[in-house]
């Protein structure tokens, strides 16, 4: 039976515990697992760095959510991405979005280059630019849509078809949209990445990452091997928290996305703001593509200030309800001067403020923004 996303989020990996009948998933902290006299594992597990029962449940749930055949979870979103990149041979060439999440930009410069993996940065929202970059051959095309923090939209059907026709593997960072609002595997991607630290965890109290693979096969197995040997695993408690967050994801992200639409529409007008980046606005260059591939437009907004860096810093400083902190995806709204958070590798405009819209009433958030911008 093909179930809808809300139902898949609740029921995948949620079988009652066969031993106790517990409905909530048991949290199994054991690092090692007993074997039969002939050496075969009693319950399918041997050692925590390889697999464990709590992790199995969250992986089953994430695979079902994205519509993939298998998932692997990691200690963070960066660990997920870097572990996959570790599978690439020396000499491989990869294409990253020109405004990729800054941690992966740093990974390309500081980790991949010394291993002989070449990176080119491409405006993924421009199919002609992608075609030109693919002309020289690429092992992996990395897409992030909506992107962090410029909220650029890449048409996934178009980009994935072109990249796959050239023989590249297509990875989509789906952290901002979540599987509730966008499912890249259905649009032609091979792998979906999540920083589960964000919306999937949902409470700003767990770090985690995930890769969901459209198909079982060599890439899944190579990545599983690097995770096992490198050890970038999700702990049982972190897996348990991510699983708990996943269960309520649909109602949270839909409410947060609806509030973000209200906030972005009002922000788009005031005198102090020169640009609002939110794909739900009709004026956003990616609005039509976002409508085609997203259920709604997500809960992240960025905007630029006419008064430049000083005005952006002053706006953040004056916020009262929004918490001044980096990160996103929790139930509480956050505000940050993005370039300051990113540091030396940042390519983010200095006049840009990023908002993560939480579950507060949108009118309260607007009142805070109006006084902060005044």
Ligand X SMILES: Cc1ncc(COP(=O)(O)O)c(C=O)c1O
Task: Output the smallest distance, CB 201 to ligand X, in A.
Answer: 9
Cβ atoms 290, 284 nearer than 8 A: yes
Active site residue 292: no
Cβ atoms 188, 170 nearer than 8 A: yes
Instruction: Give yes or no for residue 77 binding ligand X (CB under 6 A).
Output: yes
- Tell me the C-alpha distance between 257 and 297, whole Å: 6
The contact mask relative to ligand X for 131-160 (x = CB under 6 A, - = no) is: -------------x---x------------
Cβ atoms 322, 354 nearer than 8 A: no
Task: Output the smallest distance, CB 185 to ligand X, in A.
Answer: 17
Torsion of CA 63, 255, 290, 95, to 10 degrees: -50
Q: Which residues pair with 303 in a beta bridge?
A: 276, 353
Which of 8, 57, 101, 227 is catalytic? The answer is: 101
Instruction: Give yes or no for residue 173 binding ligand X (CB under 6 A).
Output: yes
Which of 98, 173, 190, 238 is catalytic? The answer is: 173
Residues 271-330 that bind ligand X (CB under 6 A): none
Backbone angles phi, psi at 191, to 5 degrees: -140, 140
Active site residue 164: no
Burial of 30 (0-12, 13-18, 19+ CB in 10 A): middle
SS3 content of the chain, % helix, strand, coil (to 5): 40, 15, 45
Q: Measured in Å, how far apart are the chain's first and last C-alpha atoms?
A: 54
In the complex with ligand X, the residue whose CB is nearer, 144 or 351, is: 144
Chosen residue from 52, 55, 76, 293 binding ligand X by CB under 6 A: 76
Task: Output the smallest distance, CB 365 to ligand X, in A.
Answer: 20
For residue 70, what are its two tokens?
């298998």
Query: By rule CB under 6 A, what count of residues binds ligand X?
Result: 14
The SS3 call for residue 323 is: strand
- Tell me the C-alpha distance between 67 and 9, whole Å: 11
Active site residue 278: no
- Concatenated DSSP letters of 65-83: HHT-SEEEEESSHHHHHHH
Q: Which residues pair with 289 in a beta bridge?
A: none
The contact mask relative to ligand X for 228-257 (x = CB under 6 A, - = no) is: ------------------------------
Stretch that binds ligand X, among 123-131, 169-177, 229-237, 330-338 (CB under 6 A): 169-177
Active site residue 118: no
Stretch that binds ligand X, among 128-136, 172-180, 338-346, 354-362 (CB under 6 A): 172-180
Peptide bond into 140 cis (omega under 30): no
In the complex with ligand X, the residue whose CB is nearer, 86 or 173, is: 173
Task: Output the smallest distance, CB 109 to ligand X, in A.
Answer: 16
In the complex with ligand X, the residue whose CB is nearer, 207 or 214, is: 207
Contact residues toward ligand X (CB under 6 A) are 76-78, 101, 103, 144, 148, 173, 175-176, 195, 197, 207, 209
| Residues annotated catalytic, as ranges | 49, 101, 173, 198
């Amino acid at each position: 039976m093909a179930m809808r996303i809300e139902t898949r989020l609740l029921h995948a990996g949620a079988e009652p515990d066969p031993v106790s009948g517990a409905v909530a998933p048991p949290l199994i902290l054991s690092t090692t697992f007993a074997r039969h006299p002939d050496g075969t594992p009693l319950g399918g597990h041997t050692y925590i760095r390889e697999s464990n029962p709590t992790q199995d449940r969250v992986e089953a749930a994430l695979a079902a959510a994205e519509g993939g055949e298998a998932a692997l979870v990691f200690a963070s979103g960066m660990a997920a991405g870097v572990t996959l990149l570790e599978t690439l041979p020396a000499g491989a060439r990869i294409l990253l979005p020109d405004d990729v999440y800054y941690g992966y930009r740093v990974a390309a410069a500081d980790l991949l280059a010394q291993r002989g993996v070449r990176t080119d940065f491409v405006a993924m929202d421009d199919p002609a630019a992608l075609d030109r970059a693919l002309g020289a051959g690429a092992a992996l095309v990395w897409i992030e849509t909506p992107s962090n923090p410029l909220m650029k939209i890449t048409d996934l059907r178009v980009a994935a078809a072109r990249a796959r026709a050239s023989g590249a593997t297509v990875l989509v960072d789906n952290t901002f949209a979540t599987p509730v609002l966008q499912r890249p595997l259905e649009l032609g991607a091979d792998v979906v990445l999540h920083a589960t630290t964000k919306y999937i965890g949902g409470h700003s109290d767990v770090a985690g990452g995930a890769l969901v693979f459209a198909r079982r096969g060599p890439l899944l197995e190579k990545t599983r091997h690097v995770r096992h040997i490198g050890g970038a695993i999700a702990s049982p408690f972190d897996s348990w928290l991510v699983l708990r967050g996943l269960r309520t994801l649909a109602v949270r992200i839909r409410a947060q996305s609806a509030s973000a639409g209200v906030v972005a529409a009002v922000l788009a007008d005031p005198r102090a703001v020169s640009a609002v980046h939110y794909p739900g606005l009709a004026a956003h260059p990616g609005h039509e593509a976002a409508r085609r591939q997203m259920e709604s437009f997500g809960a992240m907004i960025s905007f630029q200030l006419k008064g430049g860096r000083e005005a952006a810093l002053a706006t953040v400083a004056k916020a009262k309800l929004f918490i001044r902190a980096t990160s996103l995806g929790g139930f509480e709204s956050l505000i940050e001067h993005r370039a300051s958070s990113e540091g030396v590798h940042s390519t983010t405009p200095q006049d840009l403020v990023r908002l993560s819209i939480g579950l507060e009433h949108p009118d309260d958030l607007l009142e805070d923004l109006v006084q902060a911008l005044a």
